[in-house]
């Protein structure tokens, strides 16, 4: 039994007339007649009594009409449900992003966009390795993540650099490294290093090649300040994470001159048709496309 057979049967049953049903369905009368015959053979019943050119629905036909109508109505409701969901989804733009300066401005981006559009932004904090699969399977519409060759190899994606993200280190005031101009990472090799919030994987990997002792993670500025005050170690973090200034206890040293840097880019599918997507891209360019690191 096929859906089209039920639809043909319903139209014939409503009219008890093959040619009228064929006209309504815009198909040949012979095609309808053939499908009705196949349906009768499958169900092993007579659905219509034929008297010359006239047909009359049988009791079995009336029973099938009742059930077939329910089936087609349910089918139509299901199709309508998914169409409505698709329409709703058209107005939801999902942004996947890695921990970066983006976290500082995504609220502003959402507010600016939603003030001018009927669409809304759904932000999703993600691990870097999850970004590409999510883009390729339409789980997210746009991503803010580390620039990589892997991303640029996909022709279906548009990859554009936004800004360079740098890092800095807080050191106890009396440490000799504060006297150096643009100290190389090797000067940190024998130091106790703490990361204030987890560093990006590639940045931490670069740092661990130089640092002999394990890099420990802390997630609160007050802990970092206490460690610096007691001269127990150095604090490495992204340049947009700032500790309260205390020149009597610690100083900030930029690592912008070192290999501890990354390029944050925007990535999206070229075939994205979400509502007001070009408007969002324009706002991203206005708010985020910079060559310098944000502070």
pLDDT band per the 50, 70, 90 thresholds, residue 293: very low
Same domain for 82 and 28, yes or no, is yes
Helix-then-strand count for the chain, H and E = 10, 11
The total of structural domains in the chain comes to 3
Same domain for 169 and 255, yes or no, is yes
What's the rounded mean pLDDT across residues 182-201? 94
- Tell me 258's DSSP state: S
- Residue 241 and residue 196 in contact, taking contact as beta carbons nearer than 8 Å: yes
Cα 262 from Cα 148, distance rounded (Å): 10
Q: What is residue 26's predicted lDDT score, i.e. its pLDDT?
A: 87
Same domain for 139 and 279, yes or no, is yes
- What tokens were used for 211? 């640092």
C-alpha 220, offset from chain centre: 29
- Average pLDDT of the chain, as a whole number: 90
State if pTM tops 0.85.
Answer: no
Residue 119 lies in a domain: yes
CA dihedral (177, 178, 179, 182) positive or negative:
positive
Per-residue model confidence as pLDDT tens digits over 264-292: 999 999 999 899 999 999 999 988 875 33
pLDDT band per the 50, 70, 90 thresholds, residue 188: very high
Residue 294 has pLDDT above 60, yes or no: no
Which of 89, 110, 138 is at the close of a domain?
Answer: 89
Same domain for 149 and 278, yes or no, is yes
What's the rounded mean pLDDT across residues 14-27? 86
Residue 294 lies in a domain: no
Residue 158 has pLDDT above 90, yes or no: yes
Cα 288 from Cα 101, distance rounded (Å): 10
Domain that holds residue 246: 165-261
Which of 58, 89, 120 is at the close of a domain?
Answer: 89
Same domain for 181 and 192, yes or no, is yes
Residue 293 lies in a domain: no
Q: What is the CATH number of the domain that holds 226?
A: 3.40.190.10
Residue 131: CB atoms within 10 A of its CB come to 23
């Amino acid at each position: 039994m096929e859906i089209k057979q039920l639809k043909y049967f319903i139209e014939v049953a409503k009219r008890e007339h093959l040619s009228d049903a064929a006209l309504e369905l815009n198909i040949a009368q012979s095609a309808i007649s053939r499908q009705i015959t196949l349906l009768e053979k499958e169900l092993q019943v007579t659905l219509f009594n034929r008297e010359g050119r006239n047909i009359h629905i049988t009791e079995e036909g009336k029973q099938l009409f009742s059930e077939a109508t329910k089936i087609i109505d349910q089918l139509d409701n299901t199709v309508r449900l998914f169409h409505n969901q698709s329409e709703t989804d058209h107005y939801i733009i999902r942004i996947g992003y890695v921990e970066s300066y983006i976290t500082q401005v995504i609220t502003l981006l959402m507010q600016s966009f939603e003030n001018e559009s009927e669409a809304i932004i759904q932000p999703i904090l993600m691990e870097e390795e999850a970004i590409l699969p999510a883009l390729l399977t339409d789980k997210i519409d746009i991503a803010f993540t580390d620039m990589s060759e892997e991303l640029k190899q996909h022709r279906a994606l548009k990859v554009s650099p936004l800004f360079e993200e740098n890092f800095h280190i807080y050191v106890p005031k009396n440490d000799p490294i504060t006297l150096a101009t643009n100290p190389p990472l090797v000067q940190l090799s024998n130091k106790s290093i703490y990361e204030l919030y987890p560093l990006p994987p590639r940045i931490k990997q670069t740092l661990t090649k130089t640092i002999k002792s394990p890099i420990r993670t802390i997630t609160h500025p007050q802990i970092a300040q206490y460690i610096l005050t007691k001269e127990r170690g150095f604090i490495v973090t992204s340049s947009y994470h700032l500790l309260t200034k205390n020149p009597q206890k610690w100083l900030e040293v930029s690592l912008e001159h070192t290999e501890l840097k990354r390029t944050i880019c925007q990535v999206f599918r070229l075939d994205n048709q979400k509502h007001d997507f070009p408007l969002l891209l324009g706002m991203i360019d206005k708010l985020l496309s910079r060559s310098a690191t944000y502070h």
